[in-house]
Chain A
Amino acid sequence: MSGFVRAASAEWVKIRSVRSTAVTLGLFAFVALGLGWVVANGFSAGGPAADALLPVFFGLLTAQLVLVTFAVAMVGAEFSTGTIRASLAAVPSRGRLFAAKMTAIGVTVAVAALVVELAVYGLVRLVIGGAAAPLSEWWTVEALLGGWIHLTLLSVFTACVAVMLRSTVVSLSVLLPVLFLSGQGLGNLEAVKPVVQYFPDQVGMVIMHMTRPGDPQFGRDYGPWEGIAILVLWTAAALVGGWLAMRRRDA
């Protein structure tokens, strides 16, 4: 086994062996399904077909705060409990340890996001029946795919921020208001939109049909996959930043 595989395998044991993993991922599923169910019950057909995606993503985008908390806590716990010292003694190559940790967190989040997203979609379909977004349409598949990428990459992004800030509490204090406020429409305010629309939590909105390009109020200056590309850039930048922070500092 290569050093990276060994390190990633150890990171997976770390993730699955703490209580907070089951708690946060369970809560993520509960909030996403619960809010999806509530919004789906209040859904009235008759608008544009793509509006049927709203019940799916409203719950998921609120529940993403819990998913982000999971990703941040997996990193922050290493620093708050001091296990980072044992981790670095076991895997002295800091690049390898960082890559292994981000891979383990990323894969865990990707699996959780995919399962929960499909479950929410299924639940919404059950509630609104024929008015649901059909899987035979590309825009439905595209939205689900984009939502999955958005949840996964945003979580990896926040995990990298936690590596840079080395604390769960500090990281969440910085991240949650930004994610929460922009979720509440910061990205739609005329004064700040030119900048805020490019924030990592905002760029996935187009592909999920939570906004659309060209709309006078909620519009964005980019298309669905351009938005995802910007998110990829944000994630890449955060990975570089986290890697540098990991390399440079004493444990």
Chain B
Amino acid sequence: MIEVRNLTKRYRGGTAVDDLSFTVEPGRVTGFLGPNGAGKSTTIRLVLGLDRPSGGFARVNGRPYASLDRPLTAVGALMDAGDLHPTRSVREHLRWLARSNGIGERRIGEVLEATGMAGVARKRAGALSLGMKQRLGVAAALLGDPGVLILDEPVNGLDPEGVVWIRHLVRGLAAEGRTVLVSSHLMSEMALTADHLVVIGRGRLLADTSTEEFIAAHAGADGAGASLEEAFMRLTGASVEFRSGGRR
């Protein structure tokens, strides 16, 4: 379980996360939605203790992330898939992560198999395609067999086959009773993947509801052809800072 309570992050330039509260429950996929720059990644960084909050707090399994002794065995996170040393091999990348949390060598082979990366285990990370890097990021998140998974934009750079793979993987993880938070700015993808949605805009909570209710509640007056995409546009329209449409 992930709890976010009154979480606030202010930078010199402004407020990235503004008094945000929500809970991510186990056993279902929670989609974390918002336009680019809405504060999704900042929220995730605050949950993982990478940034210090200006106010409020975030807890994982009832504890602050930083107080976890072997955090990778509790929480698996995919942040920026490009966060790799270009000359370090796929296997060595997973090896240092495993060592840091006392995870056995055998598990490296297992996650390589599970993510379809076994064939490129000796390849340098710098030689991987973006889709491969995403898979490696997922492998790293799964390494400690954690009960909580946080995936920031996991389908970025994936081919259609990879997108379907992520969708099945994420749903399977939730079905096993894990807590799964998946951020995305792709509403159509979340409609197929998420059971529950947390929608933010400009760092503020806009909606915290089931996917079905969200579509029903924000569907157009005509009711016909309501899609999550449209519902999302309607809800976040006011909170999008830069819209391409209106500035021709």
Interface residues of A (CB under 8 A from B): 1, 3, 6-7, 9-11, 13-14, 17-20, 77, 81-83, 85-93, 250-251
Contacts and interface: CB of A to CB of B under 8 A. Distances in A.
A62 B51 CA distance: 40
Given A10-B97, A10-B100, A14-B96, 5 more contacts: A9-B99, A19-B87, A83-B85, A89-B72, A250-B52
A89 B74 CA distance: 11
Contacts of B93: 17
B108 to A, nearest CB: 11
B235 to A, nearest CB: 30
B51 A251 contact: yes
A86 B49 CA distance: 11
Interface stretch (B23-31, B76-84, B189-197, B205-213): B76-84
A13 B102 CA distance: 13
A81 B151 CA distance: 19
Contacts of B173: none
B86 interface: yes
A1 B49 CA distance: 23
A244 to B, nearest CB: 14
B218 interface: no
A10 B96 contact: yes
A64 B49 CA distance: 37
Given A17-B92, A251-B45, A251-B50, A90 B80 contact: no
Contacts of A11: 96
B17 interface: no
A10 B96 CA distance: 4
B51 A250 contact: yes
B66 A82 contact: no
8 contacts: A13-B92, A81-B86, A82-B82, A83-B83, A88-B49, A89-B79, A90-B71, A90-B101
Contacts of B49: 88-89, 92
B111 interface: no
B129 to A, nearest CB: 17
A81 B83 CA distance: 6
Contacts of B70: 6
Contacts of B48: 88-89, 92
B140 interface: yes
B222 interface: no
Nearest to A5: B102
A17 B89 contact: yes
Q: Which 6 A-B pairs have the closest CB atoms?
A: A10-B100, A82-B83, A17-B92, A13-B96, A92-B66, A19-B87
A216 B145 CA distance: 67
Interface of B: 45, 48-52, 65-72, 75, 77, 79-80, 82-89, 92-93, 95-97, 99-102, 140
Contacts of B52: 250
Nearest to B76: A89
B83 A85 contact: yes
Given A13-B95, A86-B140, A251-B45, A18 B88 contact: yes
A17 B50 contact: no
A83 B84 contact: yes
Given A13-B95, A17-B92, A6 B100 contact: yes
A83 B82 CA distance: 9
Contact of B72 (A13, A19, A82, A90): A90
Given A10-B97, A89-B48, A77 B85 contact: yes
A88 B50 contact: yes
A240 to B, nearest CB: 20
A4 B99 CA distance: 11
A86 B89 contact: no
Contacts of B65: 92
Contact of A85 (B50, B66, B88): B50
A217 to B, nearest CB: 46
Contacts of A3: 69
B85 A1 contact: no
Nearest to A251: B50
Contacts of B87: 18-20
Output the residue of A17, A19, A90, A250 with the most chain B CB within 10 A: A90
Contacts of A13: 92, 95-96, 99
